[in-house]
Structure 1
Amino acid sequence: MNILIIGSGGREHAFAWKITQSKNCTQLFVAPGNAGTAKIAQNLPIAVSDFTKIAEAVKEHNIQMVIVGPEDPLVKGIVDFFRKDKSLKKIKIVGPDAAGAQLEGSKDFSKNFMQKYGIPTAASQTFTKDTLQEGLAYLAQQSLPIVLKADGLAAGKGVIIAETHEEARQSLHEMLAEAKFGDASSKVLVEQYLNGIELSVFVLTDGKNYKILPEAKDYKRIGDGDKGLNTGGMGAVSPVPFADEAFLSKVEEKVVKPTLTGLQAEGIKYVGFIFVGLMNVQGEPYVIEYNARMGDPETEVVLPRIKTDMVKLMKATAEGKLDKIKLAVHAKAAIATVVVAKGYPEDYRKGDIMVIPKPQKDTILFHAGTRLAERDIVLTNGGRVIVSVAMARTLNSARQKSQRLAKNIIFDGKYFRKDIGKDLLKYLKGEKEDI
């Protein structure tokens, strides 16, 4: 089977790495891909939202299955585009249509959806530029801290946790009156702050059947100790020690099942991944957000733990036969450390030459913001540059391996967090902090 992955980050390199392990993959293409995918697949220089050129490539390369990595083409309706074209209708595609992608594309839609179907979530109210004064009055009545969320896609940066009422008022004004996040903040949700610990649960569904994939915890802040600016993610861990069987059972009963029931009730045939961002509040799951795809860098720790043939899994999803597949998962822990460019998450450098070490046993390097120059030289080409992933029997051993590999990556101005997974050692008996 010829397969196309759409996207260019660490998530897509992880999918490519996993898919190339399957004997069911004949040829693999990635659009547009990066320096890492170029070594194991054929990169196609096509933007993720250029549906016409993607369709041309599908026909030219006799592609039979498409896996959509990032949210932007999903929200813009790539699945609908394929379904409306008679020549593309039979192509298997893993990803929800535009109606399903609203779970991520509109925070207001997803919040209303959760409330309608009794899915536990924080209390909130939505405001627009026309109701800004009502929003400011509403803020004054709320306890602190308070969360402000841009309704639309804002590249992971549309959420502000305000510690003071003054900060909240200023942020709401900037988002609505000054369009801080463009159209994404034409609506803003003001949401109750949940005090707990975050994790993510990933669901794969064919529209009726589902599999719950390994859970993960990511690290959003730029600095050690969760200090500093929000980023797209500085690292991830799977499994999550505080998410025991009892908690994950609650997630399935209180979140996963009603979410899928709600989608079916809304007439949405959702095919693909649902990323459920959760807060564990004293042992109870509350949904912070949905994403209509796998997370990044969470994918980089989830996929290495899956034993099941990824092509078989994706094919069964696209064909509505997920109930025929058994999901097998490694017991090992996986940790990802994201190595970023100088200046990230604000203005960052590009074009620095990289020296990339050869991964050792149970370690993997997933490229994110990289590109190939002449003579196979790899250059930095994004804020999040490369992801150092390690697996081991214990979380702390995986942590040490991931950190060592990250240290050995060389380029000017590189930076990575030194504490990924460190906060979770307290949940594990006998695992001491070595680094």
Structure 2
Amino acid sequence: MTILLLGSGGREHALAWKMLQSPLCTQLLVAPGNAGTAQIATNLSINPTDFKAVKNAVLEHRVNMVVVGPEDPLVAGIVDFFQSDEQLQNIPVIGPSAYGAQLEGSKEFAKEFMVRHQIPTAAYQSFHADTVEQGCRFLETLTPPYVLKADGLAAGKGVLIMHDLEEAQNELRQMLVHAKFGQASSKVVIEEFLDGIELSCFVLTDGKNYQLLPTAKDYKRIGEGDTGLNTGGMGAISPVPFADAAFMQKVEQQIVIPTVNGLYAEKINYKGFIFIGLINVDGNPKVIEYNVRMGDPETEVVIPRLENDLVALFQAIAEQKLNEISIHTNPQTAATVVVVSGGYPEDYQKGKEITGFDKVEDSMVFHAGTKEQNGQILSNGGRVLAVTSFGDSIQEAIKKSYQNIAKLHFDTMYFRKDIGLDLLI
């Protein structure tokens, strides 16, 4: 079949790499893609939220399935667009409806969903610009640190954690009154702080049945020791050592099953990935957030460990037959380290030539922010590359990734040197 994959990051390169291993995939189109996807598939210069352009491409190339990588097209309603169009309604789209995508698109929606279905999460309250001073008083009732979350999509940067009350109150005013994160922070959720170790759980659902994918732990802060500003992700490890069978049984029983059953009970059209951001609090899982797509850079460690035919899984989702498939996973550890442009997540430069790809051995290099120009691969974003390696231990996998990063070069390149080290303690 001909498949259209929407997106342009490391997640999409990893998904493309995996889908092309399937005999079911005869042609893969990626819109807009990057220099990495261009080497293995056909890139289309289309914005994934330009649904008219997506439709034209689907009809022109006789696309049989659409896989949505990022959250923006899902929140904007691409699934609903296809289902309401006579020419597109029989083409499966892997992803939830716009209503279902509110699990990520609105922190308040997600919190209310969890409360309805008794899914363990942090206590919270929501505030608008006209209730900002009530929000400031609510902060005074909490024990620090203080957690502020922009309600809408903020590219992974809309969550602030502060230890100082006055700073938290000032940031709340910046978010609500001065639109620090634009429309995304027109509403802010204030949560109690949960103290524990974070991890990510990934679920595939056809709207009724589900399958669990491997767990992963990502590293969001720009600086070593988890310091500095939040980013879209600086690296990831899979599996997570502390997520043993007993813990994962709690995750499945207390979180995954109530989530999937809740979607089904509320008749929410949801066929795709559910990314559940969790925290392990004294051996008990609680939900920090939902995402309605795979994470990045978690995809770059989860998908390589998946031994199933990914396209066959997508087909089972479309036909609501996911219960007929068993998930098979490589038992080795996968580690990915993200290489970014100097200055990221603030101001950074693009257009730097990247060299050394031909010297990489025994690792996978997934492109994130790259483009090809006159035969050269250039940096074209904040997060540029993700280098993924397998090992029989976390140490071995990490070592391979760092050895191969040393062979790559572009001006101002930066990466964290402590990915996974906290899991060795």
C-alpha offsets along residues 97-118 of structure 1, whole Å, 9 cap, x if unaligned? Answer: 1011000000000001101110
Task: Name the counterpart of 1:73.
Answer: 73
1:360 & 1:229 partners in 2: Cα distance?
30
2:359 & 2:311 partners in 1: Cα distance?
25
Tell me, yes or no, if the aligned pair for 2:359 and 2:407 is still in contact at 8 Å.
no
C-alpha offsets along residues 365-409 of structure 1, whole Å, 9 cap, x if unaligned? Answer: 0000000101x2100000000000001111110010011111211
2:362 & 2:335 partners in 1: Cα distance?
11
Q: State how 1:18-57 maps to structure 2 within 5 Å.
A: 18-57=18-57
* Residues 1:23 and 1:67: Cα distance change in structure 2 (over 3 Å): same
Q: CA deviation at 1:319?
A: 1.5
1:361 & 1:244 partners in 2: Cα distance?
31
The SS at the match of 1:137 is helix
Task: Name the counterpart of 2:304.
Answer: 304
The SS at the match of 2:357 is coil
Task: Name the counterpart of 2:404.
Answer: 405
Tell me, yes or no, if the aligned pair for 1:2 and 1:26 is still in contact at 8 Å.
yes
C-alpha offsets along residues 45-85 of structure 1, whole Å, 9 cap, x if unaligned? Answer: 00110000001000101110100000000000000000000
* Residues 1:44 and 1:380: Cα distance change in structure 2 (over 3 Å): same
The SS at the match of 1:365 is strand
The SS at the match of 2:87 is coil
- For structure 1, the 5+ residue unaligned runs are 427-435
* Counterpart AA for 1:414: M
Task: Name the counterpart of 1:368.
Answer: 368
1:361 & 1:417 partners in 2: Cα distance?
20
1:356 & 1:369 partners in 2: Cα distance?
16
C-alpha offsets along residues 136-162 of structure 1, whole Å, 9 cap, x if unaligned? Answer: 111111110010000000011100001
Task: Name the counterpart of 1:322.
Answer: 322
1:143 & 1:207 partners in 2: Cα distance?
39
Q: CA deviation at 1:36?
A: 0.1
Q: CA deviation at 1:326?
A: 1.8
Structure 1 vs Structure 2: percent identity of aligned residues?
A: 58
Q: CA deviation at 1:270?
A: 1.0
Tell me, yes or no, if the aligned pair for 1:149 and 1:158 is still in contact at 8 Å.
yes
Q: TM-score, normalised by structure 2?
A: 0.99
Number of residue pairs the alignment of both structures matches: 425
Task: Name the counterpart of 2:200.
Answer: 200
1:123 & 1:404 partners in 2: Cα distance?
43
The SS at the match of 2:3 is strand
* Residues 1:10 and 1:359: Cα distance change in structure 2 (over 3 Å): farther
Tell me, yes or no, if the aligned pair for 1:359 and 1:365 is still in contact at 8 Å.
no
2:356 & 2:83 partners in 1: Cα distance?
41
Q: CA deviation at 1:359?
A: 6.4
Tell me, yes or no, if the aligned pair for 2:360 and 2:407 is still in contact at 8 Å.
no
1:356 & 1:117 partners in 2: Cα distance?
50
Q: State how 1:4-403 maps to structure 2 within 5 Å.
A: 4-358=4-358, 362-374=362-374, 376-403=375-402
2:227 & 2:102 partners in 1: Cα distance?
31
* Counterpart AA for 1:88: L
C-alpha offsets along residues 344-379 of structure 1, whole Å, 9 cap, x if unaligned? Answer: 0001110001103236554100000000101x2100
C-alpha offsets along residues 269-289 of structure 1, whole Å, 9 cap, x if unaligned? Answer: 210000000000010000000
* Counterpart AA for 1:126: S
Aligned alpha-carbon RMSD (Å): 0.9
Task: Name the counterpart of 1:433.
Answer: none
1:153 & 1:357 partners in 2: Cα distance?
34
Task: Name the counterpart of 1:430.
Answer: none
- For structure 2, the 5+ residue unaligned runs are none
1:99 & 1:359 partners in 2: Cα distance?
46
Tell me, yes or no, if the aligned pair for 1:367 and 1:386 is still in contact at 8 Å.
yes
2:230 & 2:414 partners in 1: Cα distance?
15
C-alpha offsets along residues 3-28 of structure 1, whole Å, 9 cap, x if unaligned? Answer: 01000000000000001111111100
2:359 & 2:230 partners in 1: Cα distance?
29
Tell me, yes or no, if the aligned pair for 2:100 and 2:268 is still in contact at 8 Å.
yes
2:382 & 2:236 partners in 1: Cα distance?
17
1:354 & 1:294 partners in 2: Cα distance?
27
Tell me, yes or no, if the aligned pair for 1:357 and 1:405 is still in contact at 8 Å.
no
* Counterpart AA for 1:306: L
Q: TM-score, normalised by structure 1?
A: 0.97
1:357 & 1:38 partners in 2: Cα distance?
15
Tell me, yes or no, if the aligned pair for 1:206 and 1:321 is still in contact at 8 Å.
yes
Q: CA deviation at 1:323?
A: 1.2
